[in-house]
Amino acid sequence: MRPINIALDLYSAAVCLTLVCYLCFGRGRKDKMRQRFIVMCAINLGMALGDIPNWAFEGLAQPWYPIALWSGSLLFWLCSSLIPLAFTFYLAEYLAPRAKVHRHFLCGAAGLCAAAILGSVLSLWNGMFFTVTVENIYRRGSLFWLSQALPFLTYALDIAIFAVYRKNLNGKDFLILSSYIFLPLAAEAVQMFNYGIALLNTGVALGLLIIFINIQSEQELRMERQEKELGQQRMDIMLSQIQPHFLYNSLTAIRRLCDHDPQQAKAAITNFSLFLRANMDSLNSRSPIPFEQELDHTRHYLALEQQRFQERLKVVYDIRSHNFSIPPLTLQPIVENAVRHGVLRLEDGGTVTIRTAETAMTYVVTVTDDGVGFQSNMVAEGHSHIGIENVRGRLAALCGGKLDIQSAAGAGTTVTITIPKADAT
């Protein structure tokens, strides 16, 4: 069996090395999910290379063979201890856009991994997991069963994660991800009762290939498409925000103020310049910004509109929570819809209310107007759908948030943004 086992280990090492090189030096987005998959491949590469001396040098009489066997065995045991932990963190990252895995799962997996590593290192002195005899023969230790139980418990935690967050996984992805659990467990069960068959490395490598082909590569393609779409959305939003009529109307209002109220004209110019700067800055922003920054941008817009429409536009701020982040140009286009297609469609105008609050799991932002209502404006003004859909898409992609609209003709509109907290379970 030695040549076959060495061939299996070399095959597993070649597969993992190929994946590591492709993911490290190939094209693609360098996100956390990719990095953690690289770690998984690198660990299995180390485990396969550590297992080769066990079959190549065991029982052979050369001065340096015992050192190679001891070193390889230690490398194998350390890597086999890390593999379940690496998968747990990969699984957590896979679920991150939809749900945050509770830290108790991650801490439990880390604790089990630490115990396995400690036992592997101590085996160099007490042989609890493994030992090498004076005849240069590898032997299982008296606590070998414990070395197998620790990764099994870690995989049990992974199965618990599947159970707790099953609503965030479709059936296909569940089967693909679970292959990384059940293939190594099956291989390890065979090895436990049939020493001399090296299947664990091959089982792990096969699980990695299944995940790479069906999830990792598709995820990277999806991320590339999403990045392009987000770039186009940023341009669309920019164009939708700086519309000629708004520029002309704002500049006309400022010109009139210069004749009648220079101080107000100066304030309006300040709001106008800050509004334009925030729109320009949003083109280069690829991540959420502090909510207060987005709120300031919205205040500048509303100050300009109030300058034009005076008593027809009233604004109420009820800000009870602000220590969170939000994608740029998220609040302002919603408020603009409330102003242009809501309250200003009424002869006497109306009120736009901006509220924030938080729950144990989320931050909530609501924009309410008492204007004409959804059916009378957004359906008729189809282009306003574009801005709302852009906001909804960026909320989901950048912070896992969602946007809901409730409206009725003659009763106004309420837009609710819900953003999950980073530490929510």
Give the list of residues 6+ apart from residue 289 with CB closer than 8 angstroms, or none.
Answer: 325, 326, 327, 328
pLDDT of residue 185: 79
Percent of the chain residues topping a pLDDT of 70 = 81
Do 364 and 357 contact (CB within 8 A), yes or no? yes
Residue 278 token pair: 């925030």
Q: Comparing C-alpha atoms, which of 69, 67, 40, 64 is closest to residue 54?
A: 69
Q: Comparing C-alpha atoms, which of 52, 47, 87, 75 is closest to residue 210?
A: 87
249-301 pLDDT tens trace: 777 777 777 877 778 778 878 877 777 777 666 666 667 889 998 998 898 88
pLDDT of residue 319: 93
d(CA 270, CA 262): 12
Q: Comparing C-alpha atoms, which of 246, 289, 239, 240 is closest to residue 271?
A: 246
Do 362 and 326 contact (CB within 8 A), yes or no? no
- Using the predicted structure, report yes or no on whether residue 221 has a pLDDT greater than 70: no
Beta strand 350-358 with 313-319 is parallel
d(CA 186, CA 415): 51
Do 368 and 352 contact (CB within 8 A), yes or no? yes
- Using the predicted structure, report yes or no on whether residue 380 has a pLDDT greater than 50: no
Cβ atoms within 10 Å of 28's Cβ, excluding its own = 15
How long a stretch of residues is the chain? 425
Q: Comparing C-alpha atoms, which of 276, 301, 298 is closest to residue 355?
A: 298
Residue 133 token pair: 């005899």
- Using the predicted structure, report yes or no on whether residue 400 has a pLDDT greater than 80: yes
